[in-house]
Amino acid sequence: MGGGGFSMEPENPLLDEFVLSLCPKKVPRVCFVPTAAADSAAYIVKFYRAFSNGAAIPADLTLFDPGSLARNPSRSSDLSAFIAEQDIIYVGGGNTVNLLAMWRAHGLDRIFREAWLNGKILCGLSAGMICWFKASVTDSFGGLDRLDDGLGLIDASACPHYDGEPGRRPAYHQFIKDGLPSGFAADDGAALHFVGTELVEVVTSRPTAAAFRVENAEGRVVETKLPSRFLG
């Protein structure tokens, strides 16, 4: 999700409902991972308010608070077992650089890759979108910068909030021109649905939200609007 979901659109559950619909289970287990927001308690509360309506079994995975180890074991083997119990991993927004550092320190980069290969649904917004890609546009350093060491499950670059922040589009175009891998941009309210590494659909929670393929064609940046389906 370029932006949206329970934290950005609390009165518009369309994207979150779409995520739940991807799981064949009637009531899937959904684990919220708020690492990018330093495990913000307020963020976690918002998640439980959104997902405690009987449509899902919510859980959270925190890394910053040592007192949470009853829910969040510190050993990678225990973390792996915990993630294996979940159906959907939902990653929140925030600082992508900090997220990647914490995940790698705890071995979650490997655990999430294994979960992905085993058919778990991985999703998120903003930082929780771009972390799965090889490269991205991030504001983790204060301004808009390129990030080249994402998890790389999707071998492409990504840019969230494409219409939500005026500097996103020109920054992404410049980074693509300067050698960032070609990739995908998503507006707030737009989500890119991949099966494996293949993009199968763009869905939106807003009629005007869109997603784009952005490529370097012999030194010229080409932006192509992708077909999308409004969920409303």
Active site residues: 126, 161
Strand order across the beta sheet in which 133-138 lies: 145-147, 133-138, 154-159, 183-186, 211-217, 220-225
Determine contact, residues 154/194, Cβ cutoff 8 Å. Answer: yes
Q: Which two tokens stand for residue 200?
A: 């199968």
Q: Which two tokens stand for residue 50?
A: 């959104």
- Please state, in angstroms and as integers, the Cα–Cα distance from residue 68 to each residue in 39, 60, 61, 93, 133, following that order: 11, 10, 9, 20, 29
Q: How many residues does the chain have?
A: 232
- Please state, in angstroms and as integers, the Cα–Cα distance from residue 40 to each residue in 93, 101, 158, following that order: 11, 17, 25
Q: Which two tokens stand for residue 122?
A: 């991985």
- Please state, in angstroms and as integers, the Cα–Cα distance from residue 6 to each residue in 57, 87, 113, 125, 159, following that order: 16, 18, 25, 10, 20
Determine contact, residues 160/2, Cβ cutoff 8 Å. Answer: yes
